[in-house]
Structure 1
Amino acid sequence: MIGELTKPLHNLNWDDTPAVEAATSNVLATLADDGDLLRRLAHLVPQDEHLSRLSEHYDILDKLVLHDDPAGWRLRLHVFLPGHFDRPHNHRWTYSSRILRGSYQHTLYGLDDILDEGMEVAALQPYMVRTETAGDSYTLHHRMIHAAVAEPHTVTLIVRGPALKDGFLVSDRDTGKAWWQYGAAKESRNEAEKKRMSQARVNQVLSDLAEQGII
């Protein structure tokens, strides 16, 4: 369904931020503008056991996986729920984002060579603070430390590149603690099941997105 549109994402160097931005910008813009295509992709999720099992629900965030490509990248819809907050962290992968609805305050702290479990979290220096709103897009390298605090029901469309490392570090400015988190390959079965989105939740997310006019 999106094969021709996403051809530029194949054989892409996901460590090259400008190249990722150039390749993903048209994909995200097209999907943001083509409600019918986005709707068809979203409504395939409950019919696809693999995509359903990849989709995740947390108390403050839903992640709906619309496409899992053999080349290693994924297309996701993120829905930020009431009470959402974020902690400074890096990522295992470079990604591009397009805000479809709502907004969030986005803070950049610099590269992750300063990240460590014993770091002084309160000493993290914000180098850029901006508000991302509907229609905005950006690409973030996996080594960048950032945090996002979203308005309830903010919706973003994400192209997430292949994982380029095993883990990422999350820090909490309130408690001063920092800890490593890892991808599915290193998770226990219980951990994976806890965050897996139920079919009922998938259907609820789709219903909410339709009501908001996103799909």
Structure 2
Amino acid sequence: MEISTLLSRIDWNDLHGAYNICEEIADRLVAEDGALLKVFLRNLVEQEALRSQCERFNLFTKLVLLKAPNGAKVRLHLFETEVKEFHNHRAPFYSRLLSGEYVHKLYGNIESSADGEIKKMELPPVFMHKYTKNSAYILPSSFIHSTEATVFPSVSLMIQGPADREYLQIYNCDTGEVRTRYGWAVTSEIQEGGEMRVGDMIEDITEKIEVALGWRA
């Protein structure tokens, strides 16, 4: 069965079942020294529709490798700097660390707040765990979390379900600022300073990822 077909068949309301299918997808992508993952990554140069959704933020780079008809995606994340933010997501997702290391922190469920919003207040983590190569987890979109890379660069694989929220919120741990980001269904415009489309940088970013994954010297 093709990756896109498996991606479309995931029932994200059943996290246990979703995790098992995501593990199968991830295993197939990284098998044989990442042979299939390399194909998706290197094809981005020619895939304008996908490349237009690849973004570089202040803190990390997000590449969209595959998008299913229902909106589910396979992504690669490249962490090159320290992260001091926590956030929720617009969609449930699975993540597997492919190289490097980060500390994963959970802060709670955004639905437990009075109006479903992240407030300008300190949120102490309720769970912390160090993730190393091949560690994986799955979360619903409502969970507030952070991934604080401790080894640079670090690369993770994300399998994201269809969006079930219009926007996500990001909390800056240093300034207390809360930012709101909308998905592509609402806007494809740049939403904040320091954000840019990958565009012509795709080959340089691909090289960084391949070096981090040990595919080239």
Q: Which residue of 1 aligns with 2:75?
A: 76
Instruction: Provide, for residues 115-138 of structure 1, a one-character-per-residue CA deviation record: whole Å limited to 9, x for no partner.
Output: 535x2521x231110111111111
Which residue in the other structure is 2:92 paired with?
94
Unaligned runs of 5+ in 2: none
Task: Please state how far the C-alpha of 1:188 moved relative to its aligned partner.
Answer: 6.1
C-alpha displacement of 1:55: 0.9
TM-score by length of 1: 0.88
2:20 aligned residue: 22
Deviations along 1:50-87, one digit per CA (max 9) or x if unpaired, are 111111112321111111111211111110013x3141
Question: Going by fraction, where is helix more abundant, 1 or 2?
Answer: 1
> SS of 1:116's equivalent?
coil
Other-structure match for 2:197: 196
- Report the CA distance shift for 1:212/1:167 in structure 2 as closer, same or farther (over 3 A): closer
CA RMSD, Structure 1 to Structure 2 (Å): 2.2
* 3-state SS in 1 of match to 2:102: strand
Percent identical residues: 26
What are the within-5 Å matches in structure 2 for residues 1-215 of structure 1?
A: 4-34=2-32, 35-82=34-81, 84-113=82-111, 114=113, 115-116=116-117, 119-122=119-122, 124-150=123-149, 151-187=151-187, 189-191=189-191, 194-199=195-200, 201-215=201-215
| Cα deviation, residue 172, structure 1 | 2.2
Please give the alpha-carbon distance, in whole angstroms, between the structure 2 residues aligned to 1:188 and 1:136: 32
Contact 1:121–1:172 under 8 Å retained in 2: no
Q: Could you state the TM-score of these two structures normalised by the residue count of structure 2?
A: 0.87
Question: Secondary structure in 2 aligned to 1:47?
Answer: coil
Q: Secondary structure at the match of 2:45?
A: helix
Q: Separation in 1 of the partners of 2:161 and 2:97?
A: 18
How many correspondences in the alignment?
A: 209
The 4+ residue runs of structure 1 with deviation greater than 4 A are none
Task: Report if aligned partners of 2:84, 2:174 keep a CA contact under 8 Å in 1.
Answer: no
More strand by share: 2
